[in-house]
Structure formats: structure tokens, C-alpha cells
Amino acid sequence: MADLRREIAEAIGLKNVPVADRLAYEVTVSEKENGYTRQHITYKLGEDRVTAFLLLPDELCGNPAVLVHHQHNGERHLGKSEVCGLAGNPLQAFGPALARAGFVVLAPDSICFEERRKNGSGITPLPGDDDFLQHYNEMCYRILQGGNLMQKVLLDAMCGVSLLEGLPYVDTGKIGTLGHSYGGNTVLFLMALDERISFGCASGSASSYESRMQRNVGIEMASVIPGFYEKYDIDDLVRCIAPRRFLIVSAQEDKYSKDASSVVERALSAYEKYGAQGNLCQERYDGGHALTKERFQDILDWMCSCADSTT
């Protein structure tokens, strides 16, 4: 799968792009919670500055770590705060649950979300369509300059992995990633290209470009990669993840993961080549796109099982 991984990296504009092995960050606020400490941190990436929460379990020694990507839900004023249970939907709050389970958790704001909006303030939405237009323009301007928004999203995410790798109390063989919807889409692309990640879960996101276009389903802005669909689709990303442990969560009535089972079927041969077909897992539920208590708990349990078994 190395050749396919290189081809996809080149298609996105990430071939031979250096990613720092270690990443320094600044703690701006630190607050003690039940079972963990939540640090508000910032770190510089070129001319950009990323804002994130770093959740540290009470006991730090050889911990697993996870990079959690927030959802979209048309609420660009919410990012890391929803992941960390400070705002939004409690069923998106994987951060505290994972930290209490012993994970070091990094939950950054994706570009154009929460504190990374140009005119945004905290978790307050901007008036009218301003939040949407900032995001839309970010995509358009990059395409006009020969790039794409996914390139930026993935570079940011890869630097997040580097930050976790550099923490002395993290077991670098047990770094995972997790996300739902927009966050799950980021997981699919990130795990395909970054082999430092040992395990991951993409929820509500594994639908092929082909299926979305046939069913007139919207495509998230970062996934608008010029020319990508001419050669590749989502199952190619999953092939690149093999043989690492990967969980795809989908639902029968979820238009954003409607053909997830077909994606798994098409990618399974890559896992079979490694004799690791058991590492590609799928959980299919009744219902729609939104997470439920059952899905939340199943994802949490699966991530914990990976941390316990990954070597």
C-alpha cells in the first residue's frame, strides 16, 4: 500500500511536505477536573496558530494518546469545546471519557472553527452567514492558488500527532485518532497518510464520493480535492490504513455513511494481504447520523480495547 499512499499524498499536495518530529506548545490556562487536568494550549504552525485542549489523566506514565477531531454540524462556533464537554452535544464529549480511561487527549480546533475563526470569539456564533462564508472562502482561495483545504486540515492534524509523540509520558506505539462526521472524515484521510497512528475510529463519515454524487449528498469542503475522484475513492483510503486497527461506525439511515459496508468490502482485500482482516471492523446501527448513547459507549470501549492490545 506504500505506492498508493504516496500517490494519494501527492494528489492532496502532501508529498515530501516535512512535518516536525516534535512540536512546542504554550499552556494558557490549566484547570483540574475529576480524573484529569484540562489545559488550553496554543502552538504555532508557520504563520498560523492552532488552539486546542490537552487533557492529561491524573496518572502519567506510558499512557496511550488520542487525537480527537470535532464534528461539523453546521456549528462552526463549536470545535474543541464540544469534544471536551464544555458546550454542545454531550454525546460528542469523548475527551473527558477517554482522559478518565487513561488516554492523553489532544482536541484541536480545525481551521475556521471556534477560536480559529478570523472574527470569532470563543463559542459565540458570528452573525448571519459569516461563519459559513469564512469556511467557504478558505476552501475557494486555496483551490485558486493550486492547493486545497484538505492539505491544510491534514498538515494541522499531522502536527497534532507530532505534539503527542513528543510528550514524555505518551507511549508512542499507542497513538490513536477518533472523529464523528467531519471529524471522522479527517480520520479517514489522516490515518491513510500518517503511519504513526496505530488505531482509529471514523464515525458517520465512510461514504464514497461515488455514492454521494449519485444520491445528491453534500461533500464537506475539505473533501473537495480537484481531480481526486478521477483516481481514488474512500475505500482507497481504508486500504492505506491496513493492517492497522480501524473501526468504521455507520447507520442505516445516515446519508453520510450510507454505503459504509461497501467501502469496507472493497477495502478488505488489503487487510487480507497482511492476514489482518480482523483489524478492519465495522459497526452498523439503526437510526440516522447523530451519535447515540450506545454508539458513544461502543466507540469508547473499542478505543480502550485498542490501547490495551496495541504493542
Query: Given pLDDT bands bounded at 50, 70 and 90, which one contains residue 310?
Result: low
Select from 124, 112, 234, 227 the least CA-distant residue to 184.
Answer: 234
Distance CA 300, CA 65 (A): 13
Angle at 50 between CA 48 and CA 53, to 5 degrees: 175
pLDDT band at 31 (very low <50, low <70, confident <90, very high): very high
What span, in angstroms and rounded, lies between the C-alpha atoms of 59 and 99?
10
| Residues forming beta bridges with residue 105, ordered by sequence position | 55, 66
* pLDDT attached to residue 181: 97
pLDDT-derived band of residue 121, with 50, 70 and 90 as boundaries?
Answer: confident
Answer yes or no: is pLDDT of 297 > 70: yes
The pLDDT tens digits for 69-99 are 999 999 999 999 999 999 999 999 999 999 9
Residue-wise pLDDT tens digits, 272-287: 999 999 999 999 999 9
Coil, strand or helix at 180: strand
Rounded Cα distance between 199 and 58, Å, is 23
Give the Cα separation of 206 and 284 in Å (integer).
12
∠ CA 123-248-258, nearest 5°, is 85
**pTM confidence score:** 0.96
Structural domain harbouring 257: 2-309
CATH number of the structural domain spanning residue 44: 3.40.50.1820
pLDDT band at 165 (very low <50, low <70, confident <90, very high): very high
Beta strands in 156-205 (DSSP E): 170-180, 199-203
Q: What is the tally of structural domains in the chain? A: 1
Alpha-carbon distance of 255 to 237, in angstroms, equals 19
Q: What are phi and psi of 97, to 5 degrees?
A: -65, -40
Are 256 and 32 in contact, with CB atoms under 8 Å apart?
no
